[in-house]
Amino acid sequence: MVRCCARRAVGWRKWVWGLTATAVVLALPGWGKVLRGPAGDISLESRRFGGIEYVPLYDVAEALGLRLTWWYEARIIELEGRELRLSLMPGSRVVGGDRRTPVQMEAGVVFSRGVPYVPASFVTTTLAPYFERLRATARAGGGARLVVLDPGHGGRDQGAAGHGVVEKELTLDIARRVRAALVAKGVKVRLTRDGDVYVPLARRAEIANELGAAVFVSIHANAVNEQARTISGSETFYLSRAQTASDAATERLENSPLKDEVHSGWSALTARLKRFFLGNHFKQTRAQSIALAQRIQRRVGNVAVGDNRGIKPANLQVLRETLCPACLVEVGFLSHATDASYLRKEWYRQKVAEAIAEGIWEYLRTL
Ligand SMILES: [Zn+2]
């Protein structure tokens, strides 16, 4: 049976992706694998079921930047990415794909404590080479340097306001200037909104993930209440996942349209998601996010009026779901008369925007 499946594997590998397999998955002594995905390397813990090596599907999806949806009632697990959609069924060896003849895995999807596992060979011979090719294409086309800028608020959400400045207008103006400065350096840039429209926070991160962004920078302005109106200056936030892992995991579950079933059927899911959020991949991204925040804040702090308030960890929804290094820059306090009066001036906004662009550019050169 193993031999028969191995022969078949060669067939579908060739025909589904048109690729020769590249050995991008390395076996580690005894336990685990390293999978190279678009967001970096991730360690996969492998387990044996019925003599076959399996890896957890959550970690595979995460490493490859795919969204995993479990349609409980239909008994279908979907993996979805920018150019790929696969559906798997518990217990089945068949993997369906968009407009493609189904693929057969070495063995069926198994569950252990509520977590789905797929044969490691499926990842090594089919998924990993496919993503390796995507990475190569991205490198060749400069796609690895795509910057997604996120002008805070918009539409019915105006954000903060003070001294004649409305946050949603300010952030869009600065984002457009940052874009112009980066485009002039040959960097590809996309905005999460390029007009006065409302974009939900979760969607902003999704846009960056779908486009395969190398960097995500959200642009905002601060405001404080009456008592603290002397507070001024700029600061940059990065996500501290360590503090928010359980919140994030809970949120994932709460956001599921089938949460009752998920809760009852997937008792181990929360713990699993915690591990998933705290895994190697995120540790890596966190360090990169800090490096990005430092570079931006150093530049912005140099040109902005008011205090240089430095970089800070925070639990911000817009950063929480972003797979690439991400930060959120607050360019000044609209509640502070001087900050706001400068932010009303075009030359000042240009200066701040150029500082943000310089910080991003400096970071991109380290990649
Ligand atoms: Zn804001």
Domain positions in the chain: 2-139, 142-364
Rg (CA), the chain: 23
Long-range contacts: 72-80, Cβ < 8 Å, 24+?
72/258, 72/261, 72/262, 72/265, 73/258, 73/261, 77/109, 77/116
| Residue 8: predicted pLDDT | 34
| Residue 12: predicted pLDDT | 33
Domain topology for 2-139: Copper Amine Oxidase; Chain A, domain 1 (3.30.457)
pLDDT per 10-residue tile (average), the chain, 367 residues: 33 30 32 55 76 86 80 82 80 76 84 86 76 59 74 93 95 98 93 95 82 90 81 88 41 33 28 40 72 96 94 79 86 95 97 97 89
CA distance linking residue 182 with residue 298, whole number of Å? 18
Q: What is the dihedral of CA 92, 95, 99, 100, to 10 degrees?
A: -110
For residue 85 the two structure tokens come to: 């959609």
Q: How far is the CA of 40 from the centre of ligand 1 (A)?
A: 30
| Residue 342: predicted pLDDT | 97
CA distance linking residue 351 with residue 248, whole number of Å? 36
| Residue 21: predicted pLDDT | 29
Burial class (CB in 10 A: 0-12, 13-18, 19+), 255: exposed
Q: How far is the CA of 160 from the centre of ligand 1 (A)?
A: 6
With b meaning 16 or more CB within 10 Å and e meaning fewer, what string describes 31-43?
eebebbbbbbebb
**Torsion over CA: 142, 144, 147, 148 (sign):** positive
Beta strand pairing call for 215-222 and 326-333:
parallel
Contact 190, 214 (CB under 8 A): no
| Residue 253: predicted pLDDT | 36
| Residue 286: predicted pLDDT | 80
Q: What are phi and psi of 334, to 5 degrees?
A: -70, -15
| Residue 201: predicted pLDDT | 85
Q: How far is the CA of 220 from the centre of ligand 1 (A)?
A: 4
Asked: is 142-364 a CATH 3.40.50.300 domain? The reply is no
Q: How far is the CA of 333 from the centre of ligand 1 (A)?
A: 10
For residue 260 the two structure tokens come to: 């009752």
DSSP letter, residue 145: G
CA 323 → CA 80, 243, 256, 320, distances in Å?
A: 14, 17, 19, 8
Q: How far is the CA of 214 from the centre of ligand 1 (A)?
A: 22
Q: Identify the CA nearest to 116 among candidates 272, 321, 274.
A: 272
Beta strand pairing call for 147-151 and 189-191:
parallel
Please name the amino acid found at residue 96.
Answer: G
Q: How far is the CA of 218 from the centre of ligand 1 (A)?
A: 9
CA distance linking residue 325 with residue 240, whole number of Å? 12
| Residue 158: predicted pLDDT | 92
Q: How far is the CA of 313 from the centre of ligand 1 (A)?
A: 16
| Residue 17: predicted pLDDT | 32
Instruction: Check: pTM over 0.85? Answer yes or no.
Output: no
Q: How far is the CA of 198 from the centre of ligand 1 (A)?
A: 13
Q: How far is the CA of 159 from the centre of ligand 1 (A)?
A: 5
Q: How far is the CA of 173 from the centre of ligand 1 (A)?
A: 14
Q: How far is the CA of 157 from the centre of ligand 1 (A)?
A: 9
Find the length of the chain.
Answer: 367
CA 216 → CA 60, 150, 208, 249, 321, distances in Å?
A: 23, 7, 7, 22, 11
